[in-house]
Every structure is written in C-alpha cells, then in structure tokens.
Amino acid sequence: MLISEFYEARVRDLMDIRVWDLPIIEKDAAIPLVLSILDGKTHVWVVESLKTKELVGVITRHDILQILAPPRTYYGVFSLPKLYHHGIEGRAEDIMTKHPITCRPDDTVADALKKMIRHNIRRLAVVTDRTIEGELTLRNLISKFYKATQYYPLNEETPR
Amino acid sequence: MINYLLLGGLAIGLGLLIGKGTHRLRVTGVVGYIIAGFILGPEVLGVLDLAAAEVETVTNFSLAFVAFVIGGELTLTLMRRQGRSILAIILGETLGAFFMVFVFVYLVTADLPKAIIFAAMAPASAPAGAVAIIQEYKARGKLTNSILAVVGLDDGLAIFIYAFSIAIAGGLLATGGFSAASMLVDPLIDTGGALLLGLAMGLGAAFVFRRLVEREEIIAVALTAILLTAGLATLLDVSLILASLAMGMTVTNVFPRVNRPVFDAVKVISLPVYVLFFVLAGLNLHLGVLAGAGVIGVVYVVCRSTGKLGGAYAAARATRAEPVIARNIGLGTLTQAGVAIGLALLASTELAARGYPDLGRLVLTTITATTVVFEIVGPLATWFALHRAGELGQQ
C-alpha cells in the first residue's frame, strides 16, 4: 500500500536538502529583507548566523499580517501577549516566532504530518543538534506523494 | 425556576459590550466586565442574584482555568533566561508590596487576619496595561524588556503568596490567635498538598496531551484536567488555585515545545470564561461597603505602590541591575487587574464559607475599586518610566 509506505518513509528521504536554496536569514537581518524574501516564499527560517546555521526562529507570511494589520484590541487578561511590531523598523528577531517546530531526519513522515496538524503549520525545519539541515514542507510531501502515484519510488526522482 | 442560560447570555453579552467601550477609553476591558456585573447585580437591576454556592462554583472553575493558563506561561527556560536581577526584582516588588500593605493595614485596623488578607492581594500585577503602553508607543530597550518580564512572571509568585497567606489567615480566624498549627502546619499542608496534587495531575496530563493531535481533543482533555484538579483540591481541602497553577507549570515544563498547542487551544476559549468571571466579581460590588472601605482603600493604594517601587528598587540595586532599570522598573509594575480581583473573589467566597461574609465583601469591594485606580495610574506610570528611560518610540 502506497500510503503505508509513505507514512513509514523517513524524513531524510523526502526532505528538501538543498540548504543553499532554503530561505534562511540571520536574526539581525532588517525587516525589509524579510519582506523581500516573503514576496516569493511562504516562510523564512531565522538562524543565529549563516555560518553556524543554528535555528532560532521562523517568520511566515502570517507574521507579516500582524505587521500590516492596524493595531487591534488585546483581549488577554492573564497571559503575556506577543508584542507585534508595526511598520518596517526592527530586525528579523523582533517579528519571528521563536522555537519553531522541528523534526529530525530519522523521524517518520507520519510523525511529521501529525506535528503539522497538531501545531497547525505546513512546514518543519529538519534539524540535527539545533542546526538546520533542510526542511519538510507540505508542498514537498504533496509533490513526492504525487510522483509516487505516478510510479516513481518515494525517495527517488527516477521512475521504477 | 431561574433561567441560567438566559442569565449567562446576558452576562457575557453585556460584559463584552461594556468591555469594548472601556477599551476605547483606554481602560482595560476587565473594568467594563465588572461594570456589567454591577449593573446586572442586586445594586442596580437585580437581574442576576445568585446564591453563594452558584457563585463559588463558577468562580472556582474560572480561577482554576486562569491559574492553569498562568502556569503554562512559567517555563523554566523563560525563567532561566531572565537572569538574576529580574528574578530578584520580581521577589522584591512582590514582597515589598505584601509587607507594606500588611504593616499599614494592621496599624490602621489592628486586625491581623484582615491585614494578611489585604497584603496577599497586593503582589499581583497585570501585564495588559503595561503591554498597551509599550505597544502604542513602540517602546524598545532594556527597561521595556525588563517590565514585560516582571509583569508577566510575577503572578505565579503572587498566587503562591496568596495561598500561603490565606491559609494563615484562615487558621487565625478559626482559632482566634497564634498557634503552630495556624502559622505553619496548616499553610504548609495547604500549599504543599496543592503543589503535590498539581504536580501529579500535571504529569499525567502532560503524557496524555503529548499523544493528542486534534485541537478539539486537546481542549476537551484540558478542561477535564482543570476540572479534576479543581475538584480534587476542593475535596482534599488544599489550595485550588495553587494546584491548578502547579498543574499548568508541570504540563508546560515536562514537554515544553510539544505541549505548547495545549495552551494555545485553551486560550481560544478563554475570553467568555474571563468575562463571566469578572461579571460575577461585579455582582459582589456593594456601594455601601465601598464607602466604609475608604481608609483601607487609600492605605492599600499608597502602600502597594510604595512597596512595589521600593522593593523593586532595592532588589535591582542589590543585584547591580543597570541604573536605568533600577530607577524605573517599579513604576512599570503598578498595574493591577485580573489576578488581584480573582484572588479577592476567591478570598471572599472562602471567608463567607468560614462565616465572615462581611470581611469577604470588604476585601472584594476594596480590591475592585482600587483596581480602577491602578488601571488608570499604572499605565501612566509605565509611560513615565519608559519616557524617563528614553525608550519610547513614535506614537
């Protein structure tokens, strides 16, 4: 059964490993740079430095919605809200979501999919010891699964 | 037969409406919810006139819910990241407020249980007022970060202080004087039992939450855990609010990232719970009591303010915090709202159950009235502190 095979597949086999092509910026990057990346991508991973690639956050288009939307009523009474910046002043770390949800290369796809549903997200950073090694996006998974239905092995780009 | 469904709809609807109005006036929605309760209550319309047991049930559930949410914010990682001086400032401003209010209320009233109960209300602060100013004026800097950390984290300590103090006050009221049991054994059993209960329930809940995927399941299990913890705390006669706080802390710290969606899911349903809770607080506002509470109210406002300012300053200086933080941090911690009113409501129901309803009404009315004062003064003081520190951006 293809779907069972899909669930049991390892993240490392299906993830996007082109680290050089991943949307990654340093936490000190200016917000206009973030906007320019999100003009074309749905998200950008934020790292401590491009050299170490230690993952510290993620910025999605939804985070930018908070920057663009007019200030709203805050209804929280007992909990500390996330402070939203308005406008383009500030750095990537001011608007990022800290501690993004991640998975490991050895995790199964089923576990990764459960994480996506549980956290209501469409992408996971694949990390080893806090260093980003790639990403697993819903788009990746759809593409791989579609190809698998067209007689490609799940983890290869050539037909079987 | 009382139509509870209609009353519930009226309470939440009117609360939201007036809360929206007070938001527009830049006063926290909490004040609006309380006004709604006051209007619906026996002093004005008399539509909502609930029995003590009914109020107690809703109050206990709401406070358990609130404490669970607050506990969920208290991650060890967050606390470790704050550093020594922030933790010392939290300790300084909470204990400073407690002791100042305790000493001066006792000097004015010569009533030890009363002084302890009022002092127990003083440490809690409210993040919403400070956050509103920081957001509106785009404040940024070391003082801004410190204020956010302090007002966000001190409620946990405030709840612990309350649980310990109310156990002492309860013992004094029951025995009529000092004894080893009233001063030490009972409070330790009350707080220690609550912490153990919260820890056990939290551990169990954390492992269950870890396996859940759907948000609906998460909410259902969270409510189950909150109700069971609150119910068991009542059954075992230990602090309900502390047990729920400990449960939330355990859930969030056992699997920090994995269980983050639990608190996100619970917050989605929190607003109507909060509104109903504050409407009930408004029901218990009595103008006659307010007139009699004048002196204690003034003492409470002055002593809580000086205690917070002095305690925060002393702690900041002792830990060699930067001068800009030491000079101004106290001003950012004056806001008072949800937690203080929650504790006052809990104290009033506990005191009524022990046969001291008048003292309960006095506590609740005074704290509610002073909340209005602090919700006006607090944000202004925060603005002044940030202005003095040069951390305000453009409006």
Contact A74 B267 (CB under 8 A): no
3-state secondary structure at position B16: helix
CA distances from B348 to B56, B283, B366 (A): 10, 12, 11
* Closest among B154, B87, B157, B126 to B316, alpha carbons compared: B87
Cα dihedral B7, B12, B14, B20, rounded to 10, equals 180
pTM listed for this prediction:
0.80
Question: Residue A110: closest CA among chain B residues belongs to which residue?
Answer: B213
Domain assignment of residue A101, yes or no: yes
Q: What residues in B contact A117, CB-CB < 8 Å?
A: 213-214
Q: What residues in A contact B270, CB-CB < 8 Å?
A: 76
Q: What is the mean pLDDT of residues A115-141?
A: 90
Residue A160 pLDDT greater than 60, yes or no: no
Cα dihedral A9, A11, A13, A19, rounded to 10, equals 170
Q: Is B375 exposed, middle or buried (0-12, 13-18, 19+ CB in 10 A)?
A: buried
Report the domain count for chain A: 1
> For B213, which of A71, A78, A118 is closest by C-beta distance?
A118
Which alpha helices (H) appear in A29-133, and where do they start and end? 31-38, 61-68, 92-95, 109-119
Domain assignment of residue A157, yes or no: no
Domain assignment of residue A154, yes or no: no
Q: What residues in B contact A89, CB-CB < 8 Å?
A: 138, 393
b/e burial code for range B283-298 (CB count within 10 A of at least 16 → b) = bbbbeebbeebeebbe
> For B337, which of A77, A117, A118 is closest by C-beta distance?
A77
Do residues B126 and B29 make contact, with C-beta atoms less than 8 angstroms apart?
A: no
Radius of gyration of chain A (CA): 17
Q: Which two tokens stand for residue B179?
A: 């004894």
- Chain segment B202-252, per-residue pLDDT in tens: 999 999 998 888 888 999 999 999 999 999 999 998 888 889 989 999 998
Please check whether residue B78 touches A, CB under 8 A: no
Q: How confident is the model at residue A150 (pLDDT cuts 50, 70, 90)?
A: confident
Please check whether residue B152 touches A, CB under 8 A: yes
Which residue has better confidence, A153 or B216?
A: B216
The residue extents of the domains of chain B are: 4-388
Do residues B3 and B249 make contact, with C-beta atoms less than 8 angstroms apart?
A: no
- Chain segment A22-59, per-residue pLDDT in tens: 899 999 999 889 999 999 899 999 999 988 899 999 99
CATH of domain B4-388: 1.20.1530.20
Q: How far is B46 from chain A (nearest CA, A)?
A: 27
ipTM above 0.85, yes or no: no
Q: Is A131 exposed, middle or buried (0-12, 13-18, 19+ CB in 10 A)?
A: middle
- Chain segment A61-94, per-residue pLDDT in tens: 988 887 787 766 666 666 665 555 556 677 888 8
> For B338, which of A78, A81, A83 is closest by C-beta distance?
A78
* Closest among B27, B155, B151, B135 to B383, alpha carbons compared: B135
Do residues B62 and B266 make contact, with C-beta atoms less than 8 angstroms apart?
A: no
At B15 the pLDDT is: 92
Alpha-carbon gap, residue B370 to A15, rounded angstroms: 57
* Closest among B280, B340, B269 to B33, alpha carbons compared: B280
**CATH label of the domain that carries residue A40:** 3.10.580.10
Please check whether residue B214 touches A, CB under 8 A: yes
Alpha-carbon gap, residue A137 to A123, rounded angstroms: 4
- A136 DSSP β-pair partners: A124
Q: What residues in A contact B127, CB-CB < 8 Å?
A: 76, 79-81
- The per-residue pLDDT of chain A, averaged, comes to 83
Contact A77 B338 (CB under 8 A): yes
Residue ranges of chain B whose pLDDT lies below 50: 395
At B12 the pLDDT is: 92
Please check whether residue A83 touches B, CB under 8 A: yes
- Please give the residue range of the domain that contains residue A72: 2-149
Longest dimension (CA), chain A: 58
